[in-house]
Structures are given as structure tokens and as C-alpha cells.
A and B are shown apart, each in its own frame.
Chain A
Amino acid sequence: MLLAALAMAGVAVTTSIGGQGGAVRDQNVKTALGVAESGVEQGLLQYNRYGLVPDTAPCAPVGGTAPDAEGWCPEVSGTTVNGGAVSYRVKPTSTEMSGGKIAWTEMEVVSVGTLAGVTRRVDVTASSSAGQKMFVNATVKSKDGINVASNAEIHAGSATNGDINLEGLQCGAATVGVGKGLNGKGGYFSDIDCGTAGGEPGEDEIDLPPVNQGGAATENDNYRLFSLDQISGNKNTACFNGLNGTGKADKSCGARELVIGHNSSVTLGGGVYSFCKLRMDQNSSLYIAEGREILIYFDSPEACNYSSGATQLELQSNTRITPLAGKSGSAALLFVGSPDRSTNILLNSNTSVEEDVVCQQNFVIYAPYTDINLDSNTWFCGAMAGKTVNLKSHAEVWTSSGVQEFFLPLVAPHYEPTRFVDCSAVVVTGSPSEGC
């Protein structure tokens, strides 16, 4: 009997040891996963601190040799994190820009973490906005959703990761987020002339990587205001960087804030500007000098010392952003934004961005962290991408012929993760991303 009791006790002890072993294994699994994720961070860090990736040597940031036939760079290993071994491989993907220039706009990182015989693999896709052709398939894009009020119209392809709430018209092929839908009583057509019923919209994931402004915050053409980029109208009502058009101190604008007072206009003739805010009062205009292709960066709310909810572009009623009459020109308004502090763009009633009714210019608003609001009777020609896009009554968005060829500026890329997959733990002998 004593032997039986001892046997029972032995079973209990064995069970206890087994249970503790399971707990240790659970802990090792978590650590191995963390180790694998640290490999992804290492890979992204190598690229984000490298600068412009050479056209012909995309593996330079992680080793300097050419990728294999499938595009994978050599394995990087030999480091230890939290006692676990980490190794990773990177697969950069390029976009060919105009003039044959290569932009390495996307990368995939497969990382393996191993600790005490426990292996975990993760696969992360990351992208950079630098050199991306953002508006190939759709010229109205939104991360979180598109809202079209009654009598508002989009005459362009639209894409969002959220829903499209449609009370007006969506004329142009639309895609919604995976598992999302097109809701409302509005009309959906597959062509921009609203001729063919659209049926059910497609479902797809879109990627709107954040704006990388490079050194634009300090290296820009802001100095031209208002000496070379002159004011037409009342110079006392225009203000930039704390000074009005006559050079006197003016509290109506702060650092890198441009205010164009009512009935005044400013003509931009530089190449790159960096603003915190642009406010155009009633009946004011911002002209693009002939032949100019202007980039206007709007810095992050943190850099501008703005609290959450700041409006960084405000066009009051009857304002215009347009080339000089009869001339060509284009402008891209790029908003750095912030994932932590919300920002807004407000196009008030009766404003226009490119007022030529044939809509031929390349006007772009790219603001992945910013809500874009088009008030009633607003007219916009070009392409826009925002956190949300909201059209109120009688607002219209049209696409221009050339805007699909617009590339975001090629600066040193900054890759941000866009997709995470927890792969099967087994390391296969085929492609590094197999089983992910």
C-alpha cells in the first residue's frame, strides 16, 4: 500500500514537473516570437537609416550583395536577443519612376527567432512613400473610409480600407476594405461619366505610407515669401512666419503659417515649401507660377506645436488654388500628419482646387493621417488621399488625366509595416516566406 501511495506521489511530482515544463515552453514561445520580431525591426532599421537605396544594389543596407533569383537578400544572422538567436532575410521591391529611376518602395522581411529549441517566424511587409505612384488605380483614397453626402459627386476611382458611405454619386470603380462595404442610397457607377452601373465594389487592402519630408522643413523655398513670391492685393492682410506682406510683425500667423487675407492673392514660383498651416480667407487665391511643379509639405502637428484636431489647410468660401489664367502648373500638398494627433483639411463652400473645368492639372493632396473635408459646393480636380475623405452636399471631385502618373518625391525612404503574418514555426527549405 505504501508503495502504491509512493507511486501516486511520483505521478503527481511528474505531472507537476510536466506542467512547469509546459509553462517554461510557453514562456520560450513568447520570447522566441519577440526575438523574431526584433529581427524585423533590425531589418527595417538598416534600411531606414541607410538613405537612398541604390538602383542596382537593393541589398546594400543589409550586406551589399545582389539578391537571389527570387529577390531575397542574403540572410543576416549572428545576433542574439534575450538569449535567443535571430536571423532575417529581406526582399526589396521596386517601382520604376519616370526617367527610369528606381524607387525601392516596398520590402518584405521574414525573421526567425530561436530560443531553447523553440522557433517562431514572422513575415512583415513594409512600404515607403518615397517614389511611390500612389494614384494608379484610384485617385480618391482613404485609410478609414469615404463619406459622400447627398448631391455630392466623385468622378474618379475610389479606394479605401474602410466603408464607402454613399448618399451621392460614386462614378468610377471603387474598392472597399476587406470585409467592408458600400452603404447608402447613392448611385455607384463604374465609369467617371456615371454611365454604367457599378454593381458590388471590390474588396482590397490599400497602403498609404506616411509622408517622408526629408530635409524640406529646413531646406525649402519659404524665403521667397513675399519677396519673390509676391502678393497681389492688400499686403497687410497676407502673413507668413509672423510677418505681413509689408514686413511688419503680425500675430495673425505663426511660424511657417501662411495666411492670405480676403481679396488678396499670392503666386508661388519656387519648388518646395514647408508650412505648418495655410489659411485662405474669403475670395483669396493661391496661384502657381507658369510651368512650376510645386511641393508644399505640411509638417507634423508635433513639429508645429499643434494640439490634436488642428486644421492645417483651410480654404474659406470662394477661394482658389490654381495656375495663373491660361497657364500650366501643378501642386502637390503633402501632409506629414501624426498617428497620435489628428489633423484636418477643410475646403469650405465654393472653393476650388484647379478651376479649369476640363480638369487637366495635377493637383494632389496626400495626407494619410489627416481627415479631408470638402464642404458644400467645393470643386476639386486631381487626386487626394487622406485618413478619411468626407464630401458634403454638392461637393465634387474630378480626376485629371495626368494625375495617375504622379510620384511622391523620391527622398530617403522610411519603411513602415503594413502587414504582419505569424508564420508556421517550421523553417522550410523553399522560399523564406513559404508558410507565411
Chain B
Amino acid sequence: MARIRERAGVLRRSEGGFTLIELLVAATMGLVVVGGAVTVFIGAIQSQSRTSTKITAIQQGRVAVERVTRELRQGADVTTATPSQLSLITYVKQSPCGGAAAANAKACRVTYACTTAECTRTVQEPTPGSAATTSPLVTGLASGDVFTYSYSSGESQPDYIGVELSFGTQGGGPVVIADGTTLRNAGL
């Protein structure tokens, strides 16, 4: 009989469970943790989309700004200078201008025209009115005002041109890629 009681006591101890309060607390904590993880997950998914858009804008902007500033750096003579349009004589590795790629650079007229949607780049021989080749340079802009100009006192030609590409993104502020350069061939 004593052994039976002892055996029953062992069984009761080994079957010890949680109280109802313990279960409720544990369940609440579990819900908080899972809820947090779900929130983080959803946020991550949403931000991944925004981040991806911004990354695309940044990469596109970097390439475009690098390309534009490189041509501006070699610029000699600016014929149109507005915030949304820039036309200048610069060196381009094409022969004829706007045609096939060439090993060495020649003087061409390059025109950038920007709207709130995109910027285009037109290349032609320096003579006004000559045949032109136009191609898109960058898309997804939030503003067509891309170029800024600095002039030395009394000069009609800018000696420094700033380039600022502003891209609209989903949520948050725009992504802005900015650079600028002096025209190395101006006045030479």
C-alpha cells in the first residue's frame, strides 16, 4: 500500500503542468514576439520595394551625371543655357557626330533637354540645323530643372555648370544626385 502511495506521488510530480495564468502570460508574450516579427517582416518587404526604387534611381542618376559632367568638362562653347536645356560644343568619340563610335574625340554639338519625365541627349555636327541623333538619357525625374550656371564677372559664357537630377520615389523625399564641373575648353 505504501509503495502504491509512493508511486502515485511520483506520478503527480512528473505530471506537474502550468497554471492558467502562466499559460496566459506565455501566450501573450508569444503573440507580442510574433506580432513584432510580422511587423518587421512587413516593414522590410515594404521598405525593400522603396529601397529598390531608390537604388535604381541612384544608379541611373550616377551614370547619367557622370556622363553629363564628362561632356561638360570638355565643353567649349555654350549656346543654350536654361535650367531645363543645355546646348554646347564638346568632344564626343563619334564620327560623324551622332554616328558610329570612333577611337578619338571630335567636336560635336550636344544638347540636353529635360522635362519632369526624362532628359534626352541629342548629338549633331556643330553646325546648327545639321542632322541630329536623339536618345533618352535618364527617366523618372521629379523635376526638369537640372542645370545651374555660374558666370565670371562680365562673361556671357558660364564657367561652371551644376547638374542636379531629382528622382521621385514611392514615399519619402526624392533622391537627388548632384555634381558639377568647370568647362575646361571655355575660352581656350
A residues with a Cβ closer than 8 A to B are: 1-2, 4-5, 8-9, 11-12, 15, 19, 22, 26, 29, 177-179, 181, 203, 205, 339, 342, 417-422, 424, 433-436
Contact = CB atoms under 8 A, between A and B. Distances in A.
Contacts of B38: 1
18 contacts: A1-B37, A2-B37, A4-B44, A5-B40, A5-B44, A8-B44, A8-B45, A8-B48, A11-B48, A15-B51, A22-B59, A179-B127, A181-B128, A342-B154, A417-B184, A420-B74, A420-B188, A434-B104
A435 B105 CA distance: 8
B79 interface: yes
Nearest to B89: A179
B188 A12 contact: no
A203 B127 CA distance: 9
Secondary structure dominating the interface of A: mixed
Interface string B92-133: 010000000001110101000000000000000011100000
B15 to A, nearest CB: 33
Given A4-B41, A203-B126, A419 B34 contact: no
B55 A8 contact: no
A2 B154 CA distance: 65
A22 B58 CA distance: 10
Interface in B171-185: 184-185
A26 B58 CA distance: 12
Name the interface size band of chain B. 35 or more
Contacts of B184: 417, 420
Contacts of A424: 93
Contacts of A434: 103-104
A45 B70 CA distance: 25
A200 B10 CA distance: 115
Contacts of B187: 339
B91 interface: yes
Interface of B: 34, 37-38, 40-41, 44-45, 47-48, 51, 55, 58-59, 62, 66, 70, 73-74, 76-77, 79, 89, 91, 93, 103-105, 107, 109, 126-128, 154, 184-185, 187-188
Given A4-B44, A419-B185, 10 more contacts: A12-B48, A12-B51, A19-B58, A178-B89, A179-B109, A181-B128, A339-B187, A417-B188, A422-B74, A435-B103
A12 B47 contact: yes
A246 to B, nearest CB: 42
A8 B59 CA distance: 21
A29 B34 CA distance: 47
Given A22-B62, A178-B89, A179-B128, A418 B188 contact: yes
Given A418-B188, A424-B93, A179 B44 contact: no
Contact of B77 (A8, A179, A181, A419): A179
A421 B91 contact: yes
A173 B47 CA distance: 67
A1 B127 CA distance: 64
Nearest to A433: B104
A311 to B, nearest CB: 17
A15 B105 CA distance: 36
